[in-house]
Chains A and B, each alone.
Chain A
Amino acid sequence: MVWLTALLQLWLLGACGSQIAATTTATPITLYTCVNDTTIQPVIQKFEAGHAGVKVDLFRAPTGQLNARVASDVRSGGLKADVIWACDPLTMQDYVAQGLVGGWTPQTDIPATVCTPDYVGVAVLYMVAVTRTGHQAPATWTDLSRAGKVAVPDPNVAASALGALGYFGPDFYANLKAKGAAQVSTPDDVTTGVAQGIYDAGMTIANSAYAAQKSGSPVTVSWPKPGAVAIYGPIALSKTTKNSGPAQDFVSFVASRDGQALVGSSGSYPTLPGVASPTKPEDTPTVNPDWKALANQKATLLRDYAKIFGG
C-alpha cells in the first residue's frame, strides 16, 4: 500500500507545518501579488528583518491566476489576503469597486498622479520598443510599423498591453496589422521572439527587454516618442484584514524611501522620484494612459481590437 504510506506522509508533512506555525509567535500577514520573485523576495526579507514579530505569507502568481485566486476567495469565505500588490491600476480599480481593498493609504512622497484614496502606485512598468540587432530602432511609435515583422503582446492577457491599447487606440494596431504584425501572448513572448529572430521588432516591457539584452541576446531597447507607456503597479490594504497594524506597516514600508530603494535595486522601476532605478535613458519621455477612462472603455476597446487581430 504505497499510496497509503505516501498519503500518510503527506498528512504528517501538513501536521509538521502546522506545528511549526504554532510554535512561532510571529503575526502572519498574507500578501497576494503578481510582482516578480526577484523584487518581492528582498522586499519581504527586509521588511521582516525590520519588523520582528511579523511574518509575510506570500502568494505570487501572474495576474490571471491572482484574479482567479481572489475571485475564488470571495466565493469561499472572503478575501484571505491582508495586502494586495497588483501590477496594473485596472485590476486594482476592479478590486476597489468590489469593496475588497482600499479606504486607507500611507503617508508618502510618491506623486499624486499614481495615488488614489484607496491605493498607492509603488512600481511601474514601461512599454518600450525592442528591436533585433541590425534593424532600425523606431524613433517614434509610428516608425514601429516600418521596422519589419513586428510582434505585439495580447491586451486580453497582459494588463500592460491593455494599457498600451488604451493609450494608442485601435487604429494604431490596425496600421501595424496591415504591415504584417503578429500578436503573441505576453510581453516576454515578444522579447523572446525578437531575440530569436522570429520577429524584427516589437512592443514589450523595459525590464524584459533589458534582461534579454543584459544576458547577451541581440536586441536593442528604445523608448520611442512621444514616450514609453507607463503602467503603474498599486498596493492596497484589504478591507477585511484582521491584522491591519502589521499590514499597514508593510504597505507603508513599500511606499517609503527605503522600500522604494529596494524596489529599484531589485530590478523594478520605483515610483518615488530621486530613487535609483534600473536602466532608463536620461530624459526619456513617458506617457500615461487615462486609467479611469480606460476602465469604462475596456470592453469596447477589446472588441475593436479583436476585429483587427482575429480571435
Chain B
Amino acid sequence: MRSGLARSALALLLACVTAVVVVPMLVLLRTSWIEGRGRLAEVITDPDFRSAVANSFGLSAAVTGLAVPVGVAIALALRDPRLPGRNFWRAAVLLPVLVPDFVLAYSWLRAYARAGLTSEAFGFAWPQVQGPVGVTVIVASQAVPLVYLITAVGLSTRAEPTTERAARASGARPLTVLTTVTLPLLGPAIATAAVLIFVLTLGTFAVPQVIGSPAGFRTITTLIYADLALGSDPQSFVEAITLAVLLVVITVIVVAPADRLLGERLSLSRTPARDSDWGTGSHATRIVVPIVLALYLIFTCGLPLLALVSAAFTRAVGIPLSPENWTLDNFLAVLTPRTGQALGRSLLLAVAAGSILLVLGGCTAALSRTRSGRAVSVLVALTLVLPGSVLAIGLLIGYGRWLADTVLIILLAYLAKLWALAHRPISAAVDRLAPAGLQAARASGADLPTALATVVVPLLRPALIAAWGLCFLTALHEVTMSSLLYGPGTETLAVVVLNSADLGRIGVTAALSVLVTVVVVVPGGALWMLGRRSRHG
C-alpha cells in the first residue's frame, strides 16, 4: 500500500530522471548506434581502447582501495569530541572539495614536481607525481573528503555506541571492537562510499589528463577528450560518443550488482548517536591522531594549496615567491563587471541545483528499497560517470532546439551530473534510519509531511547539509559542461574567467579558485555552524 506522497515522489523522480538522464542517454545511444555501429568492432579491438579500459579500471580500483580506508579512518578518528582541535580538522579534511580538480592537479605539480615548492624549499622532488602513481594519489586525496562525509554521516545517524560500549565492557580490545562491531555496522555507508568513488574515478578526467599524459597514461575519459578535440571530423566525434556509451555500459555492469547487494540491508532498528556517546580514545591516541592528521593534511592539502595561493599572488610562473614578485593582477583579471554578473548567475545556479538535488536525492533515498528507486539510483550513477562534455552533447542534441543558450539547459546538466552525489550520502544515512520514530508520530495522529518534517528531517540534517554543500560547491566551479552549453548572457563564472585566460594561465585560474573558496567560505561556515548546532541540538 503506497501513500499519496510516496506516489507523488515516485512520479516526480521518474519525470526528472527521464528528463535529465534517460533522454540524453538515449540520444547518445541513438547517435552511437546509427552513426557508429559500423565501426564498433574496430573501436573495441583498438589496442588504445583496451589499454585505456585497463588503466581506467586499475585506477578506479586503486583509488577506491586507497581512499576508502583513509576516509573511514579519518571519520572514526574525528568522532572523539575530546580530540584537540576537532572542529578545525573536520573543516580541513573537506578543503580539497573547494578546489576545481584541474587546478588541484596543477597545484600538486607545483608542489611536488621537479623545481616545485618542495624542491626549492627542501631539495626534494617527487618525479612519480607525473604518472599513474601521482594520478592515483591525487584522485584518492580528492575522494577522501567524500568517503569521510558519507562515513561521518553514517556514524552520526546509525552507529551503535551502546553495542561498542558493551563489547568493551566485556573485555574486547579496541581493534576487536572496530572489526567486529563498528565496521560491520558502518558496512552500508562504506559500501556506498566505495561504489561512489569507483564510479567517480571511472569518470574523472582532469587529473589523468594533466598528470597522467606526460607519462603516456591514458584512460577512457582522456581518450574521449582526444576524440572530441578532433571532433570536427564526424568519425572522431561519433567515436567519442561510442567510447562514452561503452564507459556507461561498464558502469552498469559494476553499479547494478553493487546496488542490488546494498539493497540487502540489515533491518535492525538503530539508535542515533550523539557526540557525547563517543570519547573512549586513550590519551596517547589523542596525541598521535592529530599528528598523523596534520602530516596527512600537509601532504595532500597544505603544500598543494600553498602552491595554488602562491600562484594566485605571484606575477608569473617560475619566479621566486619574494615580495617584489607579489601581485594582485591575477585577481584583477578575475574581478571584472562581466565576472560579477557571471558570479551572480553561478551562485543562483548552484543554489538552485543544490536545492533541487536535495529534493531529488531525498526522494531517491526514500524509495531506495523499491525496485523503481533502485533503478533510479543506478540511472543517476550513469550520468555521474559520463564525461561532462559528452553529457552536455546529449543534452544539446536532446533539447538544443528549444533550450540552447539558456540557463535552464545548464541547470539540467548540473542536475544530471550531480544527482548521484546528492543521493548517495542521503541514502547512506536513510537506509537504516530507525522507523520507530516515524511510526510513533504517525500513530499519534501526525500526517506524513508533518511526521517527515518533525522526525526524519532533523535526524537526517547532517546528511542533507553534506549533500547540499557538495552539489553547491561542485556546481559553483563546474566548467566542462557550462563551457559547452552557455550562450550570450548565460556565461557562468568559470566560463568567463577561463575564456579570458584559457586553461594555460595558471595564475588567473588559481585566483579564480581562491575567489571561489572565499565565496563559499561564508555560506560554508554558516552551514557548518548549522550542522554543528543540529548535531549538538
Contacts and interface: CB of A to CB of B under 8 A. Distances in A.
A10 B114 contact: no
Contact of B230 (A67, A76, A80, A132): A67
Nearest to B497: A37
8 contacts: A64-B229, A68-B393, A72-B400, A73-B396, A77-B401, A156-B229, A157-B226, A188-B504
Interface string A91-128: 11011001000000000000000000000000000000
A195 B316 contact: yes
A10 B352 contact: yes
Nearest to A158: B229
A77 to B, nearest CB: 5
Given A6-B352, A71-B231, A311-B218, A196 B401 contact: no
B355 A77 contact: no
B471 to A, nearest CB: 11
B315 interface: yes
A159 B64 CA distance: 35
Q: Could you say which interface size class chain B belongs to?
A: 35 or more
Given A60-B499, A185-B213, A189-B504, A10 B231 contact: no
A13 to B, nearest CB: 6
B240 to A, nearest CB: 8
B241 to A, nearest CB: 9
B490 to A, nearest CB: 8
Contacts of A212: 316-317
Contacts of A194: 318
A6 B415 CA distance: 14
A271 interface: no
A47 to B, nearest CB: 15
A183 B230 contact: no
Interface in A20-71: 36-38, 57-65, 67-71
Given A67-B231, A70-B232, A215-B316, A77 B504 contact: no
A264 to B, nearest CB: 19
A294 interface: no
Contacts of B225: 64, 157
Interface stretch (A138-146, A216-224, A252-260, A278-286): A216-224
A-B residue pairs, 8 tightest by C-beta: A188-B504, A310-B216, A197-B115, A3-B355, A67-B231, A94-B232, A156-B226, A72-B396
B232 A2 contact: no
Contacts of B407: 10, 13-14
A168 to B, nearest CB: 19
Given A67-B228, A195-B317, A197-B114, A14 B406 contact: yes
A240 to B, nearest CB: 14
A43 to B, nearest CB: 14
Which of B114, B229, B351, B407 is most buried by chain A, counting CB atoms within 10 A of its CB?
B229
A90 interface: yes
A274 interface: no
Interface of B: 31, 48, 51, 106, 109-110, 113-116, 130, 209-210, 213-218, 223, 225-226, 228-234, 237, 315-319, 325, 345, 348-349, 351-352, 355-356, 358-359, 389, 392-393, 396-401, 404, 406-408, 411, 483-484, 486-490, 499-500, 502-507
A137 B215 CA distance: 25
A166 interface: no
Given A60-B499, A188-B505, A75 B115 contact: no
A151 interface: yes
A7 B318 contact: no
Given A3-B359, A10-B407, A91 B232 contact: yes
A61 B231 CA distance: 14
A217 B319 contact: yes
Interface of A: 2-3, 6-7, 9-11, 13-14, 17, 36-38, 57-65, 67-73, 75-77, 80, 86, 90-92, 94-95, 98, 132, 149, 151, 154, 156-159, 162, 182-189, 191-192, 194-198, 208, 211-212, 215-219, 298, 306, 309-311
Contacts of A80: 404
Contacts of A61: 483-484, 499
B318 A309 contact: no
B316 A14 contact: no
Contacts of B48: 306, 311
Q: Is the interface of A mostly helix, strand, loop or mixed?
A: helix
Q: Is the interface of B mostly helix, strand, loop or mixed?
A: helix
A75 B351 contact: no
A37 B496 CA distance: 9
A80 B401 CA distance: 10
Given A69-B396, A71-B231, A37 B213 contact: no
Nearest to A306: B48
Contacts of B399: 76
A152 to B, nearest CB: 10
Nearest to B307: A196
A4 B381 CA distance: 25
B318 A71 contact: no
A71 B503 contact: no
Contacts of A298: 230, 233
A98 B411 contact: no
Contact of A3 (B213, B356, B499, B504): B356
B503 A188 contact: yes
Nearest to B114: A198
A185 B348 contact: no
Contacts of A156: 226, 229-230
Contacts of A186: 503-504
Contacts of A92: 232
Contact of A219 (B215, B233, B318, B488): B318
A60 B396 CA distance: 16
Given A2-B355, A67-B228, 7 more contacts: A70-B232, A94-B232, A156-B230, A157-B226, A196-B113, A198-B113, A198-B116
Contacts of B351: 2, 6
A195 B341 CA distance: 33
A216 B504 contact: no
Nearest to A77: B401
A310 B130 CA distance: 14
B237 A68 contact: yes
Contacts of A196: 109-110, 113, 115-116, 317-318
Given A62-B502, A197-B318, A157 B229 contact: yes
Contact of A13 (B315, B348, B400, B484): B348
A14 B352 CA distance: 14
B389 A68 contact: yes
Given A17-B489, A157-B226, A196-B110, A188 B502 contact: yes
A11 B407 CA distance: 9
Contacts of B504: 186-189, 191-192, 208
A233 to B, nearest CB: 13
Given A13-B348, A198-B109, A216 B316 contact: yes
B316 A73 contact: no
